[in-house]
């Protein structure tokens, strides 16, 4: 089956955060702007997903969801086939998206005022929900080696004071695109064991990995971490169904799982019916779509990275995963506010600003290239024109 990722799809006026909220957030009009901020894709979901929604609409009754066996079987089979890890159905709790799942972990495994370790720069929502839940973000700045991020666990351990109760690991990493090696995952798990911290491994980008890299679930790399490990997975990034707001928190240890489920029940644990149907269909029938998508994204990545790297003083982090380019403008001979003004007003491109990802992100910008190829090429051309006077 052929999938047309070059098909223009007008998302304006469809309640799209990425398109319909761009002008309010950045002052860039959707009439001529290019949204490269919110992390969703401008492609139709796999046919199996839309067919499942059509069947549900034709049935016409949309009551409370029940019987999650098909969903859990689909999750288990996907993880076994794609990532070599086979969790048990009992370990899986369905949550309203992984940001909610992470927030539930905060409530289950920490108390107000506790420290929560983040390897920064890292996904901006982690910072937001830690603050909103009255916990304290402990930022562990990563170091650069050969242009990519590494966790500095030795430096982190020297700063811990015993009030830290949880580590949130983004695996693969957003925004840097790192796919962590097994030894790196084991090292984080060992640190958590020594310091009595729960490890929450957010693996939402696990399927969006480029040739030469392989995602390893933390649970598979460090099985000894089970008594303190929660793994978060979802079909939403993989299959462009973020609006389904459905994911899984997988915990093998009965005691840790009981703590999580107590928090889950306290917040209400009924799944989103349409989200579960969409995710199940994606796992069961979306693999050919994904296999066609990955090389398309890889070529988009190459085009945008080349365009960014051609700008004076810009360094682009080599991506192993995600569809989010992470570019450092520190050496561009312009103030950061002028760089951003030119992006908004001259290039008419909306991007995520690096400081929202925490310490170490201040001079970076994140670009979402998961859109039709013509728009990626247009973005690269606009970038060149916006900074052409710099030579």
Domain residues for the domain of 279 are 61-285
Q: What is the pLDDT along the chain (391 residues), one digit of tens a residue?
A: 789 999 999 999 999 999 999 999 999 999 999 999 999 999 999 999 999 999 999 999 999 999 999 999 999 999 999 999 999 999 999 999 999 999 999 999 999 999 999 999 999 999 999 999 999 999 999 999 999 999 999 999 999 999 999 999 999 999 999 999 999 999 999 999 999 999 999 999 999 999 999 999 999 999 999 999 999 999 999 999 999 999 999 999 999 999 999 999 999 989 999 999 999 999 999 999 999 999 999 999 999 999 999 999 999 999 999 999 999 999 999 999 999 999 999 999 999 999 999 999 999 999 999 999 999 999 999 999 999 999 7
> Are 332 and 358 within one domain?
yes
CATH number at residue 354: 3.90.1150.10
End-of-domain residue from the set 266, 285, 304: 285
Q: Is residue 366 part of a domain?
A: yes
- What is the reported pLDDT for 140? 98
Label each residue of the chain as H, E or C.
Answer: CCCCCCCCCCCCCCCCHHHHCHHHHHCCCCCCCEEECCCCCCCCCCHHHHHHHHHHHHHCCCCCCCCCHHHHHHHHHHHHHHHCCCCCHHHEEEECCHHHHHHHHHHHHCCCCCEEEEEECCCHHHHHHHHHCCCEEEEEECEEECCEEECCHHHHHHHCCCCEEEEEEECCCCCCCCCCCHHHHHHHHHHHHHHCCEEEEECCCCCCECCCCCCCCHHHHCHHHHHHEEEEECCCCCCCCHHHCCEEEECCCHHHHHHHHHHHHHHCCCCCHHHHHHHHHHHHHCHHHHHHHHHHHHHHHHHHHHHHHCCCCCEECCCCECCEEEEECCCCCCCHHHHHHHHHHHHCEEEEEHHHHCCCCCCEEEEECCCCHHHHHHHHHHHHHHCHHHC
> Are 42 and 78 within one domain?
no
Q: Is residue 121 part of a domain?
A: yes
Q: Is residue 4 part of a domain?
A: no
> Are 36 and 81 within one domain?
no
- What is the reported pLDDT for 391? 76
Give the separation between CA 213 and CA 220, rounded to whole angstroms: 16
Give the separation between CA 329 and CA 385, rounded to whole angstroms: 16
User: In the chain, how many domains are there?
Assistant: 2
> Are 334 and 377 within one domain?
yes
Q: Is residue 5 part of a domain?
A: no
> Are 149 and 236 within one domain?
yes
CATH number at residue 210: 3.40.640.10
> Are 67 and 149 within one domain?
yes
Q: Is residue 12 part of a domain?
A: no
> Are 232 and 303 within one domain?
no
Q: Is residue 55 part of a domain?
A: no
> Are 275 and 216 within one domain?
yes
> Are 137 and 198 within one domain?
yes
End-of-domain residue from the set 246, 264, 285: 285
> Are 136 and 249 within one domain?
yes
Inter-residue contact 198 to 192 (CB < 8 Å): yes
> Are 217 and 302 within one domain?
no
> Are 115 and 259 within one domain?
yes
- Using the structure block, give the residue that is written with the tokens 């089970």: 226
Inter-residue contact 244 to 274 (CB < 8 Å): yes
């Amino acid at each position: 089956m052929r999938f047309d990722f070059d098909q223009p799809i007008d998302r304006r006026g469809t309640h799209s955060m990425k398109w319909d909220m761009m002008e309010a957030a950045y002052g860039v009009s959707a009439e001529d702007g290019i949204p490269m901020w919110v992390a969703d894709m401008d492609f139709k979901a796999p046919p199996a997903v839309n067919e499942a929604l059509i069947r549900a609409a034709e049935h016409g009754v949309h009551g409370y969801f029940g019987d999650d066996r098909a969903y859990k079987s689909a999750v288990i089979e996907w993880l076994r086939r794609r990532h070599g890890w086979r969790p048990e159905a009992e370990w899986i709790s369905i949550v309203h998206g992984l940001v909610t799942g992470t927030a539930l972990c905060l409530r289950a495994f920490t108390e107000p005022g506790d420290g929560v370790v983040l390897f920064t720069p890292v996904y901006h929502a982690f910072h937001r929900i830690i603050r909103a839940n009255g916990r304290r973000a402990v930022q562990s700045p990563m170091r650069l080696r050969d242009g990519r991020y590494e966790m500095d666990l030795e430096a982190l351990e020297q700063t811990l004071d015993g009030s830290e109760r949880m580590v949130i690991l983004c695996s693969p990493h957003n925004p840097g695109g790192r796919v962590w090696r097994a030894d790196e995952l084991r090292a984080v798990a060992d640190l958590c064991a020594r310091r009595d911290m729960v490890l929450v491994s957010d693996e939402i980008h696990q399927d969006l990995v480029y040739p030469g890299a392989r995602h390893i679930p933390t649970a598979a790399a460090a099985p000894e971490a089970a008594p303190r490990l929660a793994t978060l997975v979802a079909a939403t990034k993989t299959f462009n169904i973020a609006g389904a707001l459905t994911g899984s928190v997988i915990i093998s240890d009965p005691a840790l799982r009981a703590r999580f489920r107590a928090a889950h029940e306290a917040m209400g644990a009924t799944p989103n019916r349409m989200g579960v149907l969409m995710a199940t269909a994606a796992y069961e029938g979306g693999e050919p779509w994904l296999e066609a998508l990955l090389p398309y994204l890889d070529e988009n990545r190459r085009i945008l990275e080349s365009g960014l790297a051609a700008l004076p003083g810009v360094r682009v982090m080599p991506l192993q995963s995600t569809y989010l380019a992470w570019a450092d403008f520190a050496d561009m001979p312009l103030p950061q506010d002028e760089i951003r003004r030119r992006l908004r007003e001259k290039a008419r491109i909306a991007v995520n600003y690096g400081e929202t990802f925490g310490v170490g992100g201040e001079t970076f910008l994140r670009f979402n290239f998961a859109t039709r190829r013509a728009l990626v090429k247009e973005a690269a051309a606009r970038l060149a024109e916006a900074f052409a006077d710099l030579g």
